[in-house]
Structure formats: C-alpha cells, structure tokens
C-alpha cells in the first residue's frame, strides 16, 4: 500500500525549471553607494540643499562700486523705485537674488568687484583660463567656492540657461537715480550720452543695449519702474559683463525724468519708425543727449513722444517691418559716436 503524501505537497516530479535568464539583472551589482549628500531623502542631502539656498538668498554688504548692489538690510518695504533717501538708492522690489551664469559674465563681475555670496563650479568642468581666473578672484575676495553637480547648477541657473558650468550668486541690483547719474557724468567733465528704455520687457534686449552703450561711449541706461524689465541674470549674461561697468538708473516716472533732463539742458531724442527726422541727417549727436528706445512692437508711447525734442527714424529696406530694439540702439549709438569723434 502506497504511503500517503503530506496534505498540500506538490505532486510534480523532476528538477526545477530556471527563469531563463529573466532575473539576471536583479543579480547584478548596482555600483558604488552614492555619497550621503547625493542620496535623495537623506538628511545630508537636505542639509546640502538648504545650505545652497541660504548661500543664494543671503546678500553681502556692498564693498565694490557704489550704486550697484544693495544688501538685504538696506531694503525696506514700500521702496519699489529708485529714490533719494539720505543718498542711498534702493533696489527694484520685483528683483530677487540673482545667479549670474556664463564664464565671461562671471569673470567680468568678479573683476569689477561686484558683491557676491558664492561661486559655483560644476564638477568635471574644463578648466580654461576664465574658470581659473574666476576661482582665483573668488579666493582673493573670500567668496566661498563650491563644486556642485551638473543637475544642481542647472537648478540654480534655470534649465534653459547656458551656464557653461559656472555660476555666481549676487545680491539684487541696486539702481541709481537718473538725476544722480547725470550729476556724476557732469562732475567727471563728460558730455552726457544716455539711453532710456520705454516698454522694453525682454531682459536680453536690455543686456544687448547695455553692451552697446559700453561699446560706443555711453555712460548709462535708464529703465522705468513699471512695464519694463530689470537687470536680471539674463540681462547680465547678454551684456557679457558690460553691466558691471555701465550703471543703470531706475525712473519712478519716465516722462517726469525726461522733463527733468530737458530742464538740465539735455536733449531728449526718441527713436521710432515713424520719426520725422532721418538718422543720417541728425545734427544733435554732439550735444548732451538722451536716446529713448521703444519696444519693437509698439514703439514709443504717446506721452514719451510728446516729451521728446525730436523723433528719429532709421532708414531700412521696405521689406523689413522694424528693427529689434537692441539693434536699433546699436545703430543710433554708433552714429552718435561717429559724429562726436569728428569734433
């Protein structure tokens, strides 16, 4: 008589069948264990991110050129525009702490002694002369230098930014007052050449205009408080470091500022496609001058046109509807600098 088997025992006989290699990856190693600070969910990872955020949000007290950057302690509520408050200018309220990116922009900012809180270098970056100079300048000024991963520097600068593996955390830009900027130019014995912007909302256009002002002998740029871009990280990068040398003034009311310039003997000339004067015949280039640039789509506003002494237009081909604001400013500034060079 056969011996009864255990209840529930398998009656299948023969050797077990394998998985056919389907579980091979489960048996493979996963490589070295990442560092604690690189593992999401680990306390060291959270502490590292918190330290980066603190370094980005903290601002150093300005030790470089006056009228460029402002420490957070000097910012007060309700001071959105540039104003004369015991000789101290205030930053644009809409601006947050900025992270400059790109090798040229970072090196130029460090050369100009722009206050900075941290320098970030991506690991495994190609160490060319600009990166070495940036690290040397940061060490001499006591600015912390941190080596971070590529994803971390992407997060700091924005995922659409071409950071080239280097970034610099700086306090918000501190704008000058338009009349104080004019006083400084006159005190240096220079003939004023300023550019005022009306409705320019693209920070890359602002950066290109700042770069053109620096290239053609201008002394500053004026932006209105409302409906206008400010000196952001994009503007810094487009200016290729010129924003460290050319001051930007903030006008609480652009039309009132233009009237004040006219009272001080400065000619205010607008640049618009429908202007009555052509740029090649313009004869005020050798005088104290404020060029007003409008947006590419809308041009100059009606009130701004009424406050201009003259409206200039740049002759272009009939097939082209208009010029980019940055290009138009470059053409006009070149014409003015050429006329001043002949005198």
Whether the Cβ atoms of residue 103 and residue 162 lie closer than 8 Å to each other: no
pLDDT computed for residue 323 by the predictor: 79
Instruction: Identify each DSSP E strand in the chain by its residue range.
Output: 98-101, 118-122, 145-148, 166-170, 193-198, 220-224, 248-251, 267-271, 277-278, 289-294, 310-313
224-237: average pLDDT: 81
User: Averaged over 165-191, what is the pLDDT?
Assistant: 88
Helix%, strand%, coil% for the chain, nearest 5: 35, 15, 45
Q: Topology of 178-342 in CATH?
A: Alpha/beta knot (3.40.1280)
Nearest-angstrom CA–CA distance, 153 and 145: 13
% pLDDT > 90, the chain: 16
Q: Report the pLDDT value the prediction gives residue 196, as an integer from 0 to 100.
A: 93
Phi and psi, residue 260, nearest 5°: -65, -40
Cα 131 to Cα 219: distance, rounded to the nearest angstrom: 29
User: DSSP labels for 308-342?
Assistant: -SEEEE----TT-----HHHHHHHHHHHHHHHHHH
Pick the CATH number of 62-170 from 3.30.559.30, 1.50.10.20, 3.40.1010.10, 3.30.1330.30: 3.30.1330.30
pLDDT of residue 183: 92
Using the 8-state DSSP alphabet, how is residue 299 labeled? B
Mean pLDDT of 39-55: 73
Query: How far is Cα 40 from Cα 43, in angstroms, rounded to an integer?
Result: 9
Lowest mean pLDDT among 27-31, 55-59, 74-78, 305-309: 74-78
The residue among 24 and 131 whose pLDDT is bigger is 131
The C-alpha atoms of residue 205 and residue 181 are separated, in whole angstroms, by 21
Cross-strand partners of 271 = 293, 312
Q: Is residue 222 scored above 90 in pLDDT?
A: yes
The residue with greater pLDDT, 118 or 342, is 118
Q: Could you state, in order of their start, the residue ranges of all structural domains in the chain?
A: 62-170, 178-342
Per-residue exposure over 144-165, b if at least 16 CB sit within 10 Å of its own CB, e if not: eebebeeebbbebbeeebebbb
Average pLDDT of the residues in 64-88? 37
3-state DSSP call for residue 55? Answer: helix
What is the pTM (predicted TM-score) of this model?
0.63
Q: Looking at residue 210, what is its pLDDT? A: 92
Average pLDDT, the chain: 77
Q: How many CB atoms lie within 10 A of CB 119?
A: 24
The per-residue pLDDT for 38 is 78
% of the chain beyond a pLDDT of 70: 76
Mean pLDDT of 268-281: 81
pLDDT at 209 over 60: yes
pLDDT the model gives residue 36: 79
The Cα–Cα gap between 184 and 192 comes to 10
């Amino acid at each position: 008589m056969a011996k009864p088997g255990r209840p529930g025992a398998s009656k299948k006989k023969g050797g077990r069948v394998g998985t056919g290699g389907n579980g091979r990856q489960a048996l493979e190693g996963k490589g070295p264990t990442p560092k604690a600070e690189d593992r999401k969910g680990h306390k060291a990872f959270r502490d590292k991110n918190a330290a980066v955020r603190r370094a980005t949000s903290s601002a150093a007290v300005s030790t470089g050129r006056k009228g460029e950057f402002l420490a957070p302690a000097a910012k007060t509520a309700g001071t959105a525009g540039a104003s004369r408050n015991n000789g101290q200018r205030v930053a644009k309220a809409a601006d947050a702490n900025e992270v400059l990116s790109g090798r040229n922009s970072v090196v130029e900012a460090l050369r100009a002694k722009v206050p900075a809180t941290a320098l970030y270098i991506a690991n495994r970056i190609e160490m060319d002369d600009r990166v070495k100079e940036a690290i040397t300048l940061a060490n001499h000024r006591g600015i912390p230098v941190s080596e971070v991963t590529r994803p971390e520097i992407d997060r700091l600068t924005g995922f659409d930014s071409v950071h080239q593996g280097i970034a610099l955390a700086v306090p918000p830009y501190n704008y000058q007052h338009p009349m104080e900027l004019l006083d400084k130019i006159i005190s240096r014995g220079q003939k004023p050449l300023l550019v005022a912007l009306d409705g320019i909302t693209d920070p890359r256009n602002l950066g290109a205009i700042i770069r053109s002002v620096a290239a053609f002998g201008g002394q500053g740029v004026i932006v209105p408080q409302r409906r206008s871009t400010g000196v952001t990280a994009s503007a810094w990068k487009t200016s290729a470091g010129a924003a460290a040398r050319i001051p930007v003034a903030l006008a609480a009311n652009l039309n009132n500022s233009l009237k004040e310039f006219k009272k001080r003997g400065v000619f205010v000339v607008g640049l618009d496609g429908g202007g009555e004067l052509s740029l090649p015949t313009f004869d005020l280039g050798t005088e104290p001058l404020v060029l007003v640039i409008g947006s590419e789509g809308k041009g100059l506003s009606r009130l701004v046109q009424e406050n201009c002494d003259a409206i200039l237009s740049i002759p272009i081909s009939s097939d082209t509807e208009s010029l980019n604001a940055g290009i138009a400013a470059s053409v006009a500034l070149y014409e003015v600098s050429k006329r001043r060079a002949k005198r």
